[in-house]
Structure formats: structure tokens, C-alpha cells
Amino acid sequence: MKKFFIFVAVIALVCAAATVQAKDWKKIRIGVEGAYPPFSYTTPDGKLEGFDIDIARALVNAMGAEIKLVPQDWDGIIPALMARKYDAIIASMSITEERKKKVAFTNKYYQTPAKFICKKGTVKEFDRSGVAKATKGKKVGVQRATIHDNFITEQGAKDVVIKRYATQDEAYMDLEAGRVDMLLADSVAMDEGFLKKPVGKGYQFVGPNLTEKKYFGDGAGIAIRKKDKDLVELFNKAIDKIRADGTYKRIQDKYFDFDVYGD
């Protein structure tokens, strides 16, 4: 009889473990930044808006689930995922080999090049081979712990002064104030978030489009804990679905006048 009860207890534990692992994903918590316009920003009344935010809502809706958006500073966005503060990150995170060591990624949901901006007439045009020369003696601003940070750290001039910011908006303010000579970031984010605004009138892009896979990855994807393989697959199917039914294009056209998905 004792063996029977032990057997029943073991079966119950196995079933309980299976129940814990078998998630139905009826409610999905999405980590977002909220400080990277036009992809993600917070309105004056505290609402989260932007391309990433609309894509997140569309994807979760396509999955038939309920969404909860969880704002998170960029510096801690992956650690918070690992700590189970949310289930996935939709925050313009580039799919890189380094990040793949920590998290799983979906297929890309957009891809745009990185680029430098500067005050008009202060930096001469240069190509990819001239990055080090163009940044010699310059102060270059980047958002901390990004692909752009990694690139300028490795490819900038030996005497380049790198200023790192918690948000892209802080970088814009320092460029305007003359505390940095150049910024490096996503070209679309800077075009929409700075150059097209009144404050950006005296500034311009300079240098080449930067797309090297080593630094800039395979486009922006959704980061998920490695063990949640089923959620990765659900998001991939949802990406395909919203691109096929026109939802993706409607969201894209709200923010951009070109194909942000890329090749």
C-alpha cells in the first residue's frame, strides 16, 4: 500500500510539473522602452505609443491573447526578461550573436541601417573605411549598451570620446547643447525623432549607412527566454500573419513613408 501511495505521489508531481511548463499564453507581458521615438515613446498623458507599441499590440491580438505593456529602461531590459518581469521584449532590439547567447529571438519584424548625424558643415563626408578618421578627436554620443555603442567602441578612432546615454532623447539634448560632435544611432529613429523636428533643422546625416552583420545583426527581433520556444514560434506565426493580412503595412504607413521591414 505504501508503494502505491508513493507511485500516486510521483505521478501527481509529474503532472504538476507538466502543468507549470505547459503555458497557454492567454496573457502576454511585453517589455518596452517608451523612450525611442518613433518606435516607442510616452505621450504627455503617460500613454505608450509608437511603431513597436502598435506592432506589439497587433502581434498579441493575432495570437488571440491579452497584452500587458511593461515599461523598462534599456540598460536593464534583458535582465528584467530573465527575472520574469515580462515574457518578451519588443523594443527595437537588434538580433546579434552576442545577445543570442542570453536570449532567443523571433524572426525580424523590421530592419533599418545605423548612421551618424552632426551639425551641418562640421564633419566632412566619409565612407565605411573612413569611420576612424572621421571620429578622430570627436565626442560621439550613443545610447548605452546598444549595437551602436559596440560599433563605435571597436571601430572609432583611438582618441574618440564616447558619451553614453540612458535614452536617445538625452543624446539629442547633448548634441543640441554642443556637448557632443556626432551621434550614432538607428537612421530612422534619428530622422523621425530629431532631424525632422524644428530642433533638428541645423543638423544632418553624415557618413555611410552601417549594416554590417557583425555589429548590427539581422534586423530587430522579439527577445524571449530560451526555454519559451513555444512563444517564439507563436510570435513568428503572428509576424507572418500581420504581414499577410495588411495589418503590418497599415502600422508601417502610420509612421513611415517607406518599407521599414527591409530586404
Quickly list DSSP for 190-241.
Answer: HIIIIITSGGGTTEEEEEEEE--HHHHTTSEEEEE-TT-HHHHHHHHHHHHH
Torsional sign, CA 185, 204, 120, 199: negative
- Please state the rounded mean pLDDT for residues 7-17: 47
Nearest Cα to Cα of residue 203 among 147, 120, 110: 120
Instruction: Look at residue 15 and tell me whether its pLDDT is greater than 60.
Output: no
- Domains in the chain: boundaries: 24-111+218-255, 114-215
Percentage of the chain lying above the pLDDT 70 cut: 92
Instruction: Look at residue 67 and tell me whether its pLDDT is greater than 70.
Output: yes
Quote the pLDDT of residue 22: 52
Instruction: Look at residue 14 and tell me whether its pLDDT is greater than 60.
Output: no
CATH superfamily assigned to domain 114-215: Periplasmic binding protein-like II (3.40.190.10)
Ramachandran region, residue 92 (left: φ > 0; alpha: ψ -120 to 50; beta: rest): left
Quote the pLDDT of residue 5: 44
CATH number of 24-111+218-255: 3.40.190.10
> For 195, which DSSP code?
I
pLDDT tier at 21, thresholds 50, 70, 90: very low
Torsional sign, CA 58, 192, 153, 144: negative
Q: b/e string for 57-70 if b means 16 or more Cβ within 10 A?
A: bbbbebbebebebb
At 213, is the secondary structure helix, strand, or coil?
Answer: helix
Higher pLDDT residue, 263 or 111? 111
Instruction: Look at residue 140 and tell me whether its pLDDT is greater than 60.
Output: yes
Quote the pLDDT of residue 4: 44
Quote the pLDDT of residue 212: 95
Average pLDDT, the chain: 93
- Please state the rounded mean pLDDT for residues 108-127: 98
- Please state the rounded mean pLDDT for residues 216-235: 98
- Please state the rounded mean pLDDT for residues 62-79: 97
SS3 of the chain: helix, strand, coil, percent, to 5: 40, 25, 35
Phi, psi (deg, nearest 5) at residue 163: -105, 125
Name residue, grid cell 498579441.
Answer: 60
- Please state the rounded mean pLDDT for residues 51-76: 98
The amino acid occupying position 180 is: V
Gyration radius of the chain over CA positions: 21
Quote the pLDDT of residue 23: 78
Quote the pLDDT of residue 263: 82
Q: What is the pTM of this model?
A: 0.86
Higher pLDDT residue, 5 or 123? 123
